[in-house]
Amino acid sequence: MPADPLIDFDANATTRVDPRVVEAMLPFWTENYGNPSGGYRFGKIAANAVRKAREQVARLLGCEPEAVLFTSGGTEANATAIHSALELNPSRKRLVTSSVEHHAVIKPLEALEAHGYSVTRVGVDGKGNLDTIDIDHIINNETALVSLMAANNETGVLFPVEALASKARERGVFFHTDAIQAAGKVPLKVSETAISFMSISAHKIHGPKGVGALYIDRRVAFRPLFLGGGQEGGKRAGTENVPGIVGLGVAAELAAEALENERTEVAALRDFFERSVLERISGVRVNGGGACRLPNTTNLAFEGIEAEGALIMLDRAGICASAGSACTAGSLAPSHVLTAMGFSRERARSSLRFSFSRFNTRAEVERVLEVLPGIVARLRGL
Name the site residues for ligand PLP (rule: CB under 6 A): 73-75, 102, 104, 149, 153, 178, 180-181, 201, 203, 212, 325
For strand 284-286 and strand 319-320, is the pairing parallel, antiparallel, or unpaired?
unpaired
Nearer to ligand PLP, 178 or 253 (CB): 178
Nearer to ligand PLP, 73 or 334 (CB): 73
Nearer to ligand PLP, 21 or 376 (CB): 21
Residues 6+ apart with CB under 8 A from 365: 269, 272, 273, 276
For strand 94-98 and strand 118-122, is the pairing parallel, antiparallel, or unpaired?
parallel
State the minimum distance, in angstroms, from the CB of residue 14 to ligand PLP.
8
State the minimum distance, in angstroms, from the CB of residue 269 to ligand PLP.
20
Residues 6+ apart with CB under 8 A from 302: 281, 283, 284, 310, 350, 351, 352, 376, 379
What does the alpha-carbon distance between residue 223 and residue 236 come to, in Å, rounded to a whole number? 9
State the minimum distance, in angstroms, from the CB of residue 12 to ligand PLP.
6
What does the alpha-carbon distance between residue 180 and residue 320 come to, in Å, rounded to a whole number? 20
State the minimum distance, in angstroms, from the CB of residue 304 to ligand PLP.
29
The total of other beta-carbon atoms located within 10 Å of residue 316's CB is: 13
State the minimum distance, in angstroms, from the CB of residue 72 to ligand PLP.
8
DSSP code per residue over 162-221: HHHHHHHHHTT-EEEEE-TTTTTTS---GGGS--SEEEEEGGGTTS-SS-EEEEE-TTS-
Annotated catalytic residue: which of 63, 292, 320, 327? 327
Q: Which residue is nearest to ligand PLP (CB)?
A: 74
Element (H, E) at 362: helix 362-381
State the minimum distance, in angstroms, from the CB of residue 325 to ligand PLP.
6
State the minimum distance, in angstroms, from the CB of residue 327 to ligand PLP.
6
What Cα–Cα distance (Å) separates residue 264 from each residue in 155, 168, 273, 355? 19, 33, 14, 15
Q: Which amino acid is at 74?
A: G
Sign of CA dihedral 238, 239, 242, 243: negative
Nearer to ligand PLP, 81 or 104 (CB): 104
Residue 233: DSSP 8-state? G
State the minimum distance, in angstroms, from the CB of residue 203 to ligand PLP.
6
**Among 28, 98, 66, which residue's Cα sits nearest to residue 250?**
28
Nearer to ligand PLP, 181 or 193 (CB): 181
Nearer to ligand PLP, 74 or 249 (CB): 74
Residues 6+ apart with CB under 8 A from 105: 78, 82, 97, 147, 149, 178
Nearer to ligand PLP, 77 or 310 (CB): 77
292 tagged catalytic: no
* Contact predicate 217/67, CB 8 Å: yes
23, with CB counted inside 10 A (0-12, 13-18, 19+), is exposed
**Among 331, 360, 367, which residue's Cα sits nearest to residue 9?**
360
Residues that are catalytic: 327
